[in-house]
């Protein structure tokens, strides 16, 4: 029998938030895992630090073809600047060792239009192999098999790298850990548990998070936090119903669960191509845009705080309503055609909430961003 322990902080949060006049569900967090004491888990070695690398040649806007050389240069510059080390291999070796088993959490929900580009993921794998990791100890993973298969990561990585979906069939529970879960009743749903991906609790030593730059109809934006939270738990879509969404508190609560929190040591945000409305699925390509950048960090809150500004600036240029707007007049089911219609009251406040759980720095004045412009 595995001994189960309750995380005390999430259990206390409802009382704290109700005391501040904020409505939040009551979460029960169950996990046998204790926090790791290596200092690598979120917010990681570099709290409040973000490196943004721009390259005008990284992707062609007409064909969406990626320039692999430009991407490799962006990743090398981003990692050396983040770690303060001159050699790219030293930068990667400061976070990973040859004995690690590493999971790479990709985002394929918007594939093939907008996803964790295989050129980016392939270069991440190349860097891990360069410091001595066996390809067999590297796992590219996503929740849903159909989305993952559509990207064809196998064409961009060495033989032996594992590419696996948690749910080979939709709603299968076999890939989830029955002993690690968050339990809450949002809307009287029958299944009130969300379980952690079994690979995270049982196999991976460390996780690299590779999110995209997207807006999101419920969460406001979807970047590091949502990819690592909703992408690693079952039964998460239940958090929103009609116009109400609980993403403000659910995303951070999931991301803070051990061992997910301790094992997530790096985020590489793929902003070659993004989504400014209709995310995360981007069914209409007119809502895709080209930030032509990547962000690097160990602090998902700081990275997502800067992501808000990227999405907001683009929406403002397009004349779209702010992701912060909570006016019910903008609710509707025509969001894929009208950028001033939302399916839910958006909750970009989930990023600040995650900061209150100790997952990172939200205050812009406390975030240090290094911005690099490559030729």
Residue-wise pLDDT for 341-361, tens only, equals 888 999 999 999 999 999 999
Q: Which among 307, 318, 305, 306 has a CA at the least distance from the CA of 107?
A: 307
Q: What percent of the chain has pLDDT over 90?
A: 85
Q: Please tell me the predicted confidence (pLDDT) of residue 169.
A: 87
Which phi and psi (to 5°) does residue 181 adopt?
-160, 165
Task: Look at the block and give the residue holding tokens 């989504």.
Answer: 275
- The pLDDT tens digits of the residues spanning 139-194 come to 999 999 999 999 999 999 999 999 999 998 888 999 999 999 999 999 999 999 99
Domains in the chain, number? 1
Range of the domain at 123: 5-373
User: At how many degrees (to 10) do helices 118-130 and 68-83 cross?
Assistant: 50
Task: Look at the block and give the residue holding tokens 């548990």.
Answer: 193
295, two tokens: 């962000």
Which phi and psi (to 5°) does residue 103 adopt?
-95, 135
Which ranges of 272-337 does DSSP label H, i.e. alpha helix? 300-317
Per DSSP, the chain holds a count of helices (H) and strands (E) of: 11, 17
- Cβ contact 304:351 at 8 Å: yes
- Cβ contact 223:311 at 8 Å: no
CATH number at residue 142: 3.40.50.11440
Q: Please tell me the predicted confidence (pLDDT) of residue 171.
A: 86
Give 137's pLDDT tier (boundaries 50, 70, 90).
very high
pTM of the model: 0.93
- The pLDDT tens digits of the residues spanning 253-292 come to 999 999 999 999 999 999 999 999 988 887 788 999 999 9
- The pLDDT tens digits of the residues spanning 62-103 come to 999 999 999 999 999 999 999 999 999 999 999 999 999 999
């Amino acid at each position: 029998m595995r001994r189960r322990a309750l995380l005390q902080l999430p259990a206390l949060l409802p009382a704290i938030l109700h005391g501040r006049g904020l409505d939040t569900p009551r979460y029960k967090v169950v996990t046998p895992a204790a926090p790791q004491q290596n200092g690598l888990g979120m917010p990681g070695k570099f709290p409040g630090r973000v490196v943004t690398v721009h390259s005008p040649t990284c992707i062609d806007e007409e064909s969406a073809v990626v320039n692999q050389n430009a991407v490799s240069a962006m990743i090398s510059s981003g990692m050396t600047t983040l770690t303060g080390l001159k050699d790219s291999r030293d930068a990667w070796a400061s976070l990973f060792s040859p004995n690690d088993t590493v999971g790479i959490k990709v985002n394929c929900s918007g594939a093939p239009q907008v996803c964790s580009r295989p050129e980016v993921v392939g270069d991440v794998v190349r860097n891990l192999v360069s410091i001595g990791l066996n390809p067999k100890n590297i796992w590219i993973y996503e929740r849903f098999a159909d989305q993952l298969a559509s990207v064809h990561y196998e064409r961009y990585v060495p033989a032996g790298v594992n590419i696996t979906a948690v749910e080979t069939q939709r709603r299968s529970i076999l890939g989830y850990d029955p002993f690690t879960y968050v339990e809450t009743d949002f809307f009287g749903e029958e299944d009130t548990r969300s379980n952690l991906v079994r690979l995270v609790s049982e196999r991976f030593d460390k996780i690299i998070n590779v999110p995209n730059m997207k807006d999101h109809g419920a969460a406001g934006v979807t970047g590091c936090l949502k990819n690592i939270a909703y992408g690693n738990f079952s039964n998460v879509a239940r958090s929103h119903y009609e116009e109400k969404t609980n993403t403000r508190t659910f995303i951070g609560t999931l991301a803070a669960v051990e061992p997910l929190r301790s094992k997530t040591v790096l985020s590489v945000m793929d902003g070659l191509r993004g989504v400014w409305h209709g995310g995360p699925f981007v069914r209409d390509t007119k809502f895709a845009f080209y930030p032509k950048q990547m962000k690097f960090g160990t602090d998902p809150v700081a990275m997502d705080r800067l992501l808000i500004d990227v999405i907001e600036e683009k929406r403002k240029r397009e004349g779209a309503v702010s992701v912060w707007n909570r006016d019910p007049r903008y609710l509707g089911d025509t969001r894929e055609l009208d950028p001033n219609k939302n399916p839910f009251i958006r909750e970009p406040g989930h990023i600040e909430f995650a900061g209150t759980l100790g997952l990172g720095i939200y205050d812009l004045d406390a975030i240090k961003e290094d911005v690099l412009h490559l030729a």
